[in-house]
Amino acid sequence: MLAGPSPEALIGPIAAATAQIRVGSGGVMLPYYSPLKVAETFSVLAGLFPGRIDLGLGRAPGTDPMTAFALQRDRRQLPPEDFPQQLAELLGYLDGSLPPDHPFARLARTLPGRPDGPEPWLLGSSRDSALWAAELGLPYAFADFINPRGAEIAGLYRERFAEHEHAGRPRTAVAVWVICAATDAEAQRLAASARMTFTLLRRGQLIPVPPPEKALRFLQAEDRREPGPNSQRRAVIGAPAAVASQLREVIAGYGADEAIVVTITYEHEARMRSYELLAEAWG
Protein backbone atom coordinates (compact mmCIF):
# COMPACT_ATOMS: atom_id res chain seq x y z
CA MET A 1 0.00 0.00 0.00
CA LEU A 2 1.82 3.12 1.25
CA ALA A 3 4.48 1.98 3.71
CA GLY A 4 7.99 0.57 3.64
CA PRO A 5 7.77 -2.01 6.44
CA SER A 6 11.46 -2.11 7.36
CA PRO A 7 13.26 1.25 7.28
CA GLU A 8 16.21 -0.17 9.18
CA ALA A 9 16.79 -2.63 6.32
CA LEU A 10 16.55 0.04 3.60
CA ILE A 11 18.83 2.65 5.21
CA GLY A 12 22.03 0.67 4.65
CA PRO A 13 21.64 0.14 0.88
CA ILE A 14 20.56 3.76 0.36
CA ALA A 15 23.46 5.13 2.38
CA ALA A 16 25.85 2.82 0.50
CA ALA A 17 24.58 4.11 -2.85
CA THR A 18 25.06 7.76 -1.86
CA ALA A 19 27.92 9.83 -0.52
CA GLN A 20 26.67 12.97 1.26
CA ILE A 21 22.95 12.96 2.06
CA ARG A 22 21.69 11.99 5.49
CA VAL A 23 19.51 8.87 5.51
CA GLY A 24 16.97 8.20 8.21
CA SER A 25 13.91 6.25 9.29
CA GLY A 26 10.49 7.73 8.97
CA GLY A 27 10.06 5.89 11.11
CA VAL A 28 10.75 3.24 13.69
CA MET A 29 7.49 2.76 15.61
CA LEU A 30 9.07 2.14 18.99
CA PRO A 31 6.18 0.25 20.66
CA TYR A 32 6.93 -2.69 18.35
CA TYR A 33 10.64 -2.79 19.25
CA SER A 34 13.07 -3.42 22.06
CA PRO A 35 14.91 -0.12 22.79
CA LEU A 36 18.21 -2.00 23.00
CA LYS A 37 17.66 -3.67 19.63
CA VAL A 38 16.94 -0.28 17.99
CA ALA A 39 20.06 1.18 19.63
CA GLU A 40 22.20 -1.74 18.36
CA THR A 41 20.82 -1.61 14.80
CA PHE A 42 21.23 2.13 14.36
CA SER A 43 24.61 2.10 16.09
CA VAL A 44 25.83 -0.33 13.43
CA LEU A 45 24.44 1.90 10.67
CA ALA A 46 26.06 4.99 12.21
CA GLY A 47 29.40 3.18 12.44
CA LEU A 48 29.20 2.21 8.78
CA PHE A 49 28.10 5.68 7.63
CA PRO A 50 29.43 8.18 10.19
CA GLY A 51 27.55 11.45 10.52
CA ARG A 52 24.83 10.46 8.06
CA ILE A 53 22.24 8.38 9.94
CA ASP A 54 19.05 9.77 11.47
CA LEU A 55 16.84 7.72 13.77
CA GLY A 56 13.24 8.90 13.36
CA LEU A 57 11.09 7.51 16.19
CA GLY A 58 7.31 7.38 16.47
CA ARG A 59 4.65 6.14 18.83
CA ALA A 60 1.66 5.65 16.50
CA PRO A 61 0.65 2.20 15.21
CA GLY A 62 1.61 3.33 11.70
CA THR A 63 -0.74 0.80 10.12
CA ASP A 64 -4.19 -0.79 10.30
CA PRO A 65 -5.40 -2.58 13.45
CA MET A 66 -4.89 -6.12 12.11
CA THR A 67 -1.28 -5.48 11.09
CA ALA A 68 -0.60 -3.70 14.38
CA PHE A 69 -1.88 -6.75 16.24
CA ALA A 70 0.25 -9.09 14.11
CA LEU A 71 3.33 -6.99 14.95
CA GLN A 72 2.76 -7.37 18.70
CA ARG A 73 5.13 -9.77 20.44
CA ASP A 74 2.59 -10.57 23.19
CA ARG A 75 -0.90 -10.93 21.75
CA ARG A 76 -2.56 -11.97 24.99
CA GLN A 77 -3.17 -8.36 25.98
CA LEU A 78 -2.94 -4.80 24.70
CA PRO A 79 0.60 -3.42 24.65
CA PRO A 80 1.44 -1.13 27.58
CA GLU A 81 1.32 2.66 27.16
CA ASP A 82 4.99 3.05 28.02
CA PHE A 83 6.39 5.01 25.05
CA PRO A 84 8.03 7.72 27.22
CA GLN A 85 9.85 5.04 29.22
CA GLN A 86 10.92 3.21 26.04
CA LEU A 87 12.16 6.46 24.52
CA ALA A 88 14.13 7.40 27.65
CA GLU A 89 15.78 3.97 27.72
CA LEU A 90 16.73 4.16 24.04
CA LEU A 91 18.20 7.63 24.39
CA GLY A 92 20.08 6.44 27.48
CA TYR A 93 21.80 3.75 25.41
CA LEU A 94 22.69 6.19 22.63
CA ASP A 95 24.01 9.08 24.72
CA GLY A 96 25.34 7.09 27.68
CA SER A 97 22.98 8.76 30.14
CA LEU A 98 21.67 5.64 31.88
CA PRO A 99 22.38 5.95 35.61
CA PRO A 100 25.24 3.74 36.87
CA ASP A 101 22.79 1.67 38.93
CA HIS A 102 20.49 1.04 35.96
CA PRO A 103 20.31 -2.73 35.26
CA PHE A 104 21.23 -2.17 31.59
CA ALA A 105 23.87 0.55 32.07
CA ARG A 106 26.80 -1.59 30.93
CA LEU A 107 25.03 -2.37 27.62
CA ALA A 108 25.28 1.27 26.57
CA ARG A 109 29.06 0.95 26.53
CA THR A 110 29.00 -2.03 24.16
CA LEU A 111 27.10 -0.57 21.20
CA PRO A 112 28.94 -1.74 18.08
CA GLY A 113 29.14 1.57 16.19
CA ARG A 114 30.97 3.58 18.83
CA PRO A 115 32.16 6.31 18.81
CA ASP A 116 29.61 7.20 16.14
CA GLY A 117 25.88 7.17 16.73
CA PRO A 118 22.66 8.10 14.95
CA GLU A 119 20.89 11.41 15.47
CA PRO A 120 17.47 10.76 17.03
CA TRP A 121 14.40 12.68 15.81
CA LEU A 122 10.95 12.44 17.34
CA LEU A 123 8.15 12.09 14.79
CA GLY A 124 4.64 13.23 15.54
CA SER A 125 1.38 14.90 14.62
CA SER A 126 0.06 15.90 18.05
CA ARG A 127 0.79 18.05 21.11
CA ASP A 128 2.09 15.05 23.08
CA SER A 129 4.94 14.42 20.66
CA ALA A 130 5.83 18.12 20.63
CA LEU A 131 6.03 18.22 24.42
CA TRP A 132 8.17 15.06 24.60
CA ALA A 133 10.56 16.37 21.94
CA ALA A 134 10.89 19.69 23.78
CA GLU A 135 11.46 18.06 27.15
CA LEU A 136 14.13 15.70 25.82
CA GLY A 137 15.83 18.28 23.59
CA LEU A 138 15.20 16.30 20.41
CA PRO A 139 14.72 17.57 16.85
CA TYR A 140 11.04 17.28 15.91
CA ALA A 141 9.52 16.15 12.58
CA PHE A 142 5.83 16.98 12.18
CA ALA A 143 3.56 14.98 9.85
CA ASP A 144 1.63 17.71 8.07
CA PHE A 145 0.38 15.07 5.62
CA ILE A 146 -1.58 13.61 8.56
CA ASN A 147 -2.49 16.81 10.42
CA PRO A 148 -2.28 20.01 8.35
CA ARG A 149 -2.96 22.16 11.40
CA GLY A 150 0.40 21.62 13.03
CA ALA A 151 2.01 25.06 12.81
CA GLU A 152 0.75 25.91 16.30
CA ILE A 153 2.08 22.60 17.64
CA ALA A 154 5.49 23.31 16.11
CA GLY A 155 5.42 26.69 17.84
CA LEU A 156 4.61 24.98 21.13
CA TYR A 157 7.61 22.69 20.64
CA ARG A 158 9.96 25.66 20.24
CA GLU A 159 8.43 27.50 23.20
CA ARG A 160 8.74 24.54 25.56
CA PHE A 161 12.20 23.68 24.23
CA ALA A 162 13.41 27.12 25.31
CA GLU A 163 11.83 26.68 28.75
CA HIS A 164 13.91 23.54 29.36
CA GLU A 165 17.13 25.46 28.62
CA HIS A 166 18.80 22.78 26.53
CA ALA A 167 22.31 23.41 25.27
CA GLY A 168 21.26 23.03 21.63
CA ARG A 169 18.55 24.76 19.66
CA PRO A 170 15.14 23.46 18.57
CA ARG A 171 15.01 22.03 15.05
CA THR A 172 11.85 21.28 13.12
CA ALA A 173 11.14 19.37 9.94
CA VAL A 174 7.72 19.30 8.30
CA ALA A 175 6.60 16.33 6.19
CA VAL A 176 4.28 17.44 3.39
CA TRP A 177 2.34 15.51 0.73
CA VAL A 178 3.67 16.80 -2.60
CA ILE A 179 3.16 15.85 -6.24
CA CYS A 180 4.91 17.84 -8.96
CA ALA A 181 4.39 17.38 -12.71
CA ALA A 182 4.92 19.36 -15.90
CA THR A 183 1.41 20.86 -15.67
CA ASP A 184 -1.17 21.42 -12.95
CA ALA A 185 -3.60 19.11 -14.75
CA GLU A 186 -1.11 16.24 -14.92
CA ALA A 187 -0.21 16.64 -11.24
CA GLN A 188 -3.89 16.49 -10.26
CA ARG A 189 -4.34 13.38 -12.39
CA LEU A 190 -1.44 11.67 -10.65
CA ALA A 191 -2.74 12.72 -7.23
CA ALA A 192 -6.02 10.88 -7.78
CA SER A 193 -4.29 7.59 -6.94
CA ALA A 194 -3.34 8.66 -3.42
CA ARG A 195 -6.71 10.37 -2.87
CA MET A 196 -8.58 7.16 -3.60
CA THR A 197 -6.20 5.19 -1.38
CA PHE A 198 -6.64 7.54 1.60
CA THR A 199 -10.42 7.68 1.12
CA LEU A 200 -10.70 3.92 1.43
CA LEU A 201 -8.12 3.77 4.21
CA ARG A 202 -10.38 5.94 6.38
CA ARG A 203 -13.08 3.31 5.86
CA GLY A 204 -10.78 0.49 6.90
CA GLN A 205 -10.22 -0.76 3.35
CA LEU A 206 -6.57 -1.28 2.41
CA ILE A 207 -5.80 -1.38 -1.32
CA PRO A 208 -2.71 -1.12 -3.51
CA VAL A 209 -2.25 2.42 -4.85
CA PRO A 210 -4.45 2.33 -7.99
CA PRO A 211 -3.77 3.64 -11.51
CA PRO A 212 -4.87 7.29 -11.97
CA GLU A 213 -7.65 6.44 -14.43
CA LYS A 214 -9.28 3.98 -12.02
CA ALA A 215 -8.91 6.50 -9.18
CA LEU A 216 -10.47 9.31 -11.23
CA ARG A 217 -13.55 7.20 -11.93
CA PHE A 218 -13.83 6.37 -8.23
CA LEU A 219 -13.45 10.00 -7.14
CA GLN A 220 -16.01 11.16 -9.68
CA ALA A 221 -18.53 8.82 -8.11
CA GLU A 222 -17.46 9.93 -4.62
CA ASP A 223 -18.29 13.56 -5.45
CA ARG A 224 -21.95 12.63 -5.10
CA ARG A 225 -21.43 11.50 -1.50
CA GLU A 226 -21.16 13.60 1.65
CA PRO A 227 -17.47 14.20 2.56
CA GLY A 228 -16.22 12.45 5.68
CA PRO A 229 -15.18 14.34 8.83
CA ASN A 230 -11.46 13.81 8.19
CA SER A 231 -11.46 14.07 4.41
CA GLN A 232 -9.33 17.20 4.18
CA ARG A 233 -5.58 16.70 4.00
CA ARG A 234 -3.17 19.34 2.79
CA ALA A 235 -1.78 18.52 -0.64
CA VAL A 236 0.81 20.60 -2.48
CA ILE A 237 0.12 19.58 -6.07
CA GLY A 238 0.88 21.26 -9.37
CA ALA A 239 3.50 22.52 -11.79
CA PRO A 240 7.05 23.08 -10.48
CA ALA A 241 7.00 26.82 -9.76
CA ALA A 242 3.65 26.67 -7.97
CA VAL A 243 4.68 23.66 -5.88
CA ALA A 244 7.97 25.25 -4.84
CA SER A 245 6.16 28.45 -3.83
CA GLN A 246 3.49 26.62 -1.82
CA LEU A 247 6.07 24.41 -0.13
CA ARG A 248 8.05 27.47 0.96
CA GLU A 249 4.84 28.88 2.49
CA VAL A 250 4.29 25.68 4.47
CA ILE A 251 7.89 25.68 5.72
CA ALA A 252 7.59 29.32 6.76
CA GLY A 253 4.30 28.64 8.54
CA TYR A 254 5.93 25.93 10.62
CA GLY A 255 9.15 27.86 11.14
CA ALA A 256 10.78 24.65 9.91
CA ASP A 257 14.44 24.11 9.10
CA GLU A 258 13.65 21.58 6.39
CA ALA A 259 10.85 19.78 4.59
CA ILE A 260 10.34 16.08 4.02
CA VAL A 261 8.53 15.54 0.73
CA VAL A 262 6.05 12.65 0.77
CA THR A 263 5.13 11.68 -2.80
CA ILE A 264 2.69 8.83 -3.47
CA THR A 265 1.94 7.90 -7.08
CA TYR A 266 0.99 4.73 -8.92
CA GLU A 267 4.01 4.76 -11.21
CA HIS A 268 7.52 4.91 -9.75
CA GLU A 269 8.67 6.95 -12.76
CA ALA A 270 6.11 9.64 -11.95
CA ARG A 271 7.39 9.84 -8.38
CA MET A 272 10.99 10.14 -9.54
CA ARG A 273 10.04 12.83 -12.04
CA SER A 274 8.15 14.72 -9.32
CA TYR A 275 11.30 14.86 -7.20
CA GLU A 276 13.41 15.95 -10.17
CA LEU A 277 11.05 18.76 -11.16
CA LEU A 278 10.82 20.00 -7.59
CA ALA A 279 14.60 19.95 -7.18
CA GLU A 280 15.02 22.00 -10.37
CA ALA A 281 12.38 24.52 -9.30
CA TRP A 282 13.83 24.76 -5.81
CA GLY A 283 17.19 25.81 -7.20
Question: Residue 135: inside a domain, yes or no?
Answer: no
d(CA 102, CA 88): 12
What three-state secondary structure class fits 233? coil
- What's the pLDDT score for residue 243? 98
Whether the CB-CB separation of 18 and 51 falls below 8 Å is answered with no
CATH number of the structural domain spanning residue 72: 3.20.20.30
Question: Residue 254: inside a domain, yes or no?
Answer: no
What's the domain range around 35? Answer: 1-124
- What's the pLDDT score for residue 7? 92
Question: Residue 222: inside a domain, yes or no?
Answer: no
Q: How many domains does the chain have?
A: 1
pLDDT along the chain (283 residues), means of 10: 82 97 94 95 97 96 82 84 93 93 91 94 96 97 94 97 92 97 97 94 90 96 60 86 97 96 96 97 92
- What's the pLDDT score for residue 2? 66
